[in-house]
Structure 1
């Protein structure tokens, strides 16, 4: 086994209100956010995980939520400066912060840039008032457009816009109109994905009426054409980027890299080559429990068994449109190619992947029937 690159995920659990489709660990804001106290806990949490770094520099940082843009630029300046004292940064580190357009005041992104953030991910989801209302979003079209304009002038290296399709009552024309408006804002990166109803959400208990499969297929097919014509490369299931603007942090996830997770409910994945171990970690979920000094930040951890590693590796790697290096499978999973020979042979016979010699490439059919492909490795 070899050590892959190391990223850091930081979770900020608060949001203005919980959206009905959201299954992330988020908690509606009640009163003032304990900003300084929480940052201090994040740093203590990271200190407890330093033995997992194993001499590596940080490849990327991603601050997700919740709504991380509820915190101030000064808070992130303190957090990032202290993180760098604990773990050195790679020279070209990518530092992303998720932002809700409804929480972005003028010049806020500039304050984040001054703090060391160089990439913003803006959660737009839709630009149509009725769709935003059904999704429980607190912003309107103007706030989303203004957030994109702020991102363009703040001095960031890049920014992403999150856009959903397959929304309640959405037609093909509605979805493509949203997409065209976002493309016109010229984000270097665009995450465009279909709404799915997740367990333990408001939508799961009261499901909305979603578009028919035929409508969803038309949206996907015509939308991908629009994105390609606008110069976006489709490099991952829902990831589209202008050349040179792929998300480094997400690529490290999908290439089976390592990441520390700090903050409420944050997940981590760490390779320990000397022991032949792949470790998964989860931190305490609720803010009150997480900030209880009498308890550890770690909620649970477990080792990924050898029999589960092929599925975990390919569940990530096969999301990508790039070839999957065979040697990387061995290096990062600790397994031999012979241990997946049957599954690979079946995938080849079904036309779900191609063998390129030193790598495999998922075919268009394989991407369309990705679940069928991944089931071969369960």
Structure 2
């Protein structure tokens, strides 16, 4: 492995807000219901101060870089006040510079009682919203355990656009319990018509340690799922959306933060259960934070747990697992720049995959062919 140069690698920041009003039955994220459905101001302030102390423990990872993008995930980050975010950003900028066009994304739920007016978040410095709609069908929302209605979902997107947000992502799931093809396509139609500029559209999966895993719902048959996928993709393309990643569709620019993940960039992590990845001169490291909010707050500053270097033999899979999600892939030179490994060592694997028609023949890019994207898991297994 050659010496790495962290200063050439974009640096993002992930902030985890671990609370939500109610845990959804399909959710396996690190989220915890708040007492009485409301986050106490005292707890908000305590947590925000903890985030700053957490960030200070990671200053050595910055390596003279500026923050390229910020993503605030959860949980339900819109439970935190706009004033709280403004204070947090001001504190962080005492220790690091945000790029002039730094993309700051907030995940927000459509529940009308969960957030301040969207204009307040825009004024605080947040310039991109990701609205967790999941579906516009109230019956499906109830089955998913969501606390908002069809009206709330439609209203949230409209209000975000009216508040001045130019970048509004809508999270939608398909393959929902007892969902028909027509209902799945109608969800996409509503998102497009309400002005979504980016759509994250993915199939519901049943994950361990969820209510749905213990009590399996009745899901659509495989032939219905296939038609949802095919006709949904055709509809989005007809509406001018570009599928630039497995489950991401854009009408304008892509998500800068997620793009950095997929291009094997670096990201600091603050907050309960947050995961980070950083490049140092001697290697690439992953780490995480304590999951439970009470444990996270009990030990300040929070430790970088399981701070482990990615082994050289695991690096090809780690890199390709991200890069090959992108329809355009990445420039071949990115591999050596961000792993410290020579691409020549992968030449036999790459040649085999190209010969099978699973990777593009273009030697200057690492990208799946259209056929390869259909068998992405099999392609990735070649790098294990």
Q: TM-score of the superposition, structure 2-length normalised?
A: 0.95
Q: What residue is the counterpart of 1:26 in the other structure?
A: 31
Q: Is contact 1:192–1:238 with CA below 8 Å preserved after alignment?
A: yes
Structure 1 residue matching 2:47: 3-state secondary structure: helix
**Which region of structure 1 is more displaced relative to structure 2, 82-91 or 253-262?**
82-91
The CA distance in 2 between the partners of 1:250 and 1:155, in whole Å, is 22
Q: What residue is the counterpart of 2:332 in the other structure?
A: 326
Q: Is contact 2:53–2:301 with CA below 8 Å preserved after alignment?
A: no
Structure 2 residue matching 1:353: 3-state secondary structure: coil
1:256 aligns with one of 248, 260, 264: 264
Q: Is contact 1:119–1:159 with CA below 8 Å preserved after alignment?
A: yes
List runs of 5+ in structure 2 lacking aligned partners: none
Q: What residue is the counterpart of 2:80 in the other structure?
A: 71
**What do residues 196-236 of structure 1 show as CA deviations (whole Å, max 9, x unaligned)?**
11111111111112111111110011001110111111100
Deviation at 1:321, TM superposition (A): 0.9
Matched, 1:93 2:96: no
Deviation at 1:73, TM superposition (A): 0.7
Q: Is contact 1:107–1:150 with CA below 8 Å preserved after alignment?
A: no
Matched, 1:2 2:5: yes
Q: Is contact 1:107–1:154 with CA below 8 Å preserved after alignment?
A: no
Deviation at 1:107, TM superposition (A): 5.7
Deviation at 1:114, TM superposition (A): 1.0
The CA distance in 2 between the partners of 1:180 and 1:112, in whole Å, is 27
Q: Is contact 2:330–2:365 with CA below 8 Å preserved after alignment?
A: yes
Deviation at 1:343, TM superposition (A): 1.8
**Which region of structure 1 is more displaced relative to structure 2, 147-156 or 312-321?**
147-156
Q: Is contact 1:283–1:297 with CA below 8 Å preserved after alignment?
A: yes
The CA distance in 2 between the partners of 1:254 and 1:119, in whole Å, is 19
**Which region of structure 1 is more displaced relative to structure 2, 74-83 or 347-356?**
347-356
Q: What residue is the counterpart of 1:222 in the other structure?
A: 231
Matched, 1:154 2:159: no
CA 1:290–1:373: 2 relative to 1, 3 Å: same
RMSD: 1.3
Matched, 1:366 2:372: yes
2:242 aligns with one of 229, 233, 243: 233
Q: Is contact 2:53–2:300 with CA below 8 Å preserved after alignment?
A: no
**Which region of structure 1 is more displaced relative to structure 2, 210-219 or 105-114?**
105-114
Q: What residue is the counterpart of 2:321 in the other structure?
A: 315
Matched, 1:282 2:291: no
Matched, 1:209 2:218: yes
List runs of 5+ in structure 1 lacking aligned partners: none
Deviation at 1:293, TM superposition (A): 3.4
Q: What residue is the counterpart of 2:356 in the other structure?
A: 350
The CA distance in 2 between the partners of 1:105 and 1:313, in whole Å, is 37
Q: TM-score of the superposition, structure 1-length normalised?
A: 0.96
1:42-121 → structure 2 map (5 Å cutoff): 42-103=51-112, 108-121=117-130
Q: Is contact 1:69–1:104 with CA below 8 Å preserved after alignment?
A: no
Q: Is contact 2:359–2:366 with CA below 8 Å preserved after alignment?
A: yes
Deviation at 1:290, TM superposition (A): 0.3
